[in-house]
Structure formats: structure tokens, C-alpha cells
Amino acid sequence: MTNEPCAPWPIAIDGPAASGKSSLGMALAERLGFLFLDTGLMYRAVTLAALEAGVPAEDAAMAEFAAGLDIRAEAGTTTRILLDGKDVTNRLREPAVEHRVSDYSALPSVRRAMVEAQRAIAQRGPAILAGRDVGTVVLPDAPVKLFLEASPEARAARRSLQARRWGMAQEAAEARRDIELRDRLDSTRETSPLRPAEDAVVIDTTDLTLEEVVRFALEVLGCS
């Protein structure tokens, strides 16, 4: 007799930068025994590859390039990204990638290629996908959709701490400018803009610890 997951799947988690998507996704994946895919890392891998190849952030130029890339996501309780067979996960937060990822990820050709790959991963088994358009575009029929948000101040403080862990010094004021720019780009792009799905449960993580967010999410999932 097999043990069925207590939660329906796939689970979609969306939200802006530093709202806590990846932290929640990894924590839930560990608790539930699910796969976790940070879809944003796939767009970062495309950006890294395009920058190194000198391909401009233009749809016509990126259509064939993106379709021909060998990007593989190894989804476990964390996500590793392989580009042409090489693990590039630790390079995906480099400043050059950080500054240009919104430009490349907004391109329809890039999004088409990545969405197809993301859906394939979600079909492998019980999975959690986190990103900016998972509930609205990638998995519109997901049985559970969560949308995380937090105040700009809280998100800036988190991103500054994250930057230090990634080996990059960034003050909270600079982090706030970066995430506000990313918010504008992501929410106003024509293809797959950042917004909650109509049936998403919105969680404000501003004053919550990760454990509190996890407990709330587990209640939503019926696994408390």
C-alpha cells in the first residue's frame, strides 16, 4: 500500500522578489516529500547563456537561441540548474545576471520555451513550483495556489541579507531600488505579468517567520 501525499499537487507559489517564495517552497518540499522547482533560476540560466553568447534581449534574436539551449533543472528539495551539462546554479545570482534577467525573461520566446519545460517537471510527480507566473500561466489548473507578498522594507532587508549569503555586498537601500525596479518590469510586461491568480491564497509575510508561513501554508493544504 502506497502512502498518498496529504496535499494535492502540483502546488503553485508566486510573488515578487524577496517575498519568501523559494524559502517556503523548499520548506514545504522537505515536509511533504515533494520536488521543488524555482522557475526563476531557469530564466536566470537563459540570461547567463545569452550574456555570455552576446545575444541581445530581443525576441527575434532569442527565439532560436532559447529553443536550442540545453537547460536542465534538477528538482529535489532544492533546485540545481545545468546549462549544457554544467552546473551553473552558483552563477545565477551574479550581478550581470541580476541586472538583466527581467529583460530576457520578459521575452515571449523565452517564456514559451521555459513554460514548456516547467510543465514537464510538474508532471513528474508531487511537485511545488515557485515563480512569478506559475499560478496564472504555467499551472493555471493547479489545485493550490499561493501568492506571497511583503512590504518593500521587509523585502529589501531580506534581499540585502540574501546578497551577503551569495557573496555580494548590498545595502538595504540599494536592494529596495533593485526590487522596486524588478517589480515594475515584472508587473507591467505584456507576456505573463506578475499578478495573483484569481483563486490564489494571498499571504503577507512581512511580520511572519518562515515557520509561521509554513504552518499557514500547511493549513491551506489541509496538512496541518
Average pLDDT of the chain, as a whole number: 91
Give the domain range for residue 165: 11-217
Q: Is residue 13 within a helix (H) or strand (E), and if so which, with residue range?
A: strand 11-14
Does the residue 93 lie in any domain?
Answer: yes
Q: What is the CATH number of the domain that holds 70?
A: 3.40.50.300
Does the residue 148 lie in any domain?
Answer: yes
pLDDT band for 5, please (50, 70, 90 cuts). Answer: confident
The one-letter code for the residue type at 86 is K
Indicate left, alpha or beta for 54 from its phi (over 0: left) and psi (-120 to 50: alpha).
Answer: left
Does the residue 224 lie in any domain?
Answer: no
How many domains, the chain?
Answer: 1
Does the residue 2 lie in any domain?
Answer: no
Give the predicted TM-score (pTM) of the model. Answer: 0.90
The single residue listed with the C-alpha cell 534577467 is 101
| Angle (nearest 5°) at CA 139 between 124 and 145 | 105
Q: What is the pLDDT of residues 18-73, one digit of tens each?
A: 999 999 999 999 999 999 999 999 999 999 999 999 999 999 999 999 989 999 98
Residue 164 has pLDDT above 90, yes or no: no
In a 3-state reduction of DSSP, which class is residue 142?
Answer: coil
Does the residue 66 lie in any domain?
Answer: yes
pLDDT band for 200, please (50, 70, 90 cuts). Answer: very high
Does the residue 4 lie in any domain?
Answer: no
Does the residue 3 lie in any domain?
Answer: no
Does the residue 1 lie in any domain?
Answer: no
Q: What is the pLDDT of residues 64-120, one digit of tens each?
A: 999 899 999 888 888 999 999 999 999 998 889 988 998 999 999 999 999 999 999
pLDDT for residue 51? 98
**Which residues lie closer than 8 Å to 22 by C-beta, 6 or more apart?**
38, 40, 130
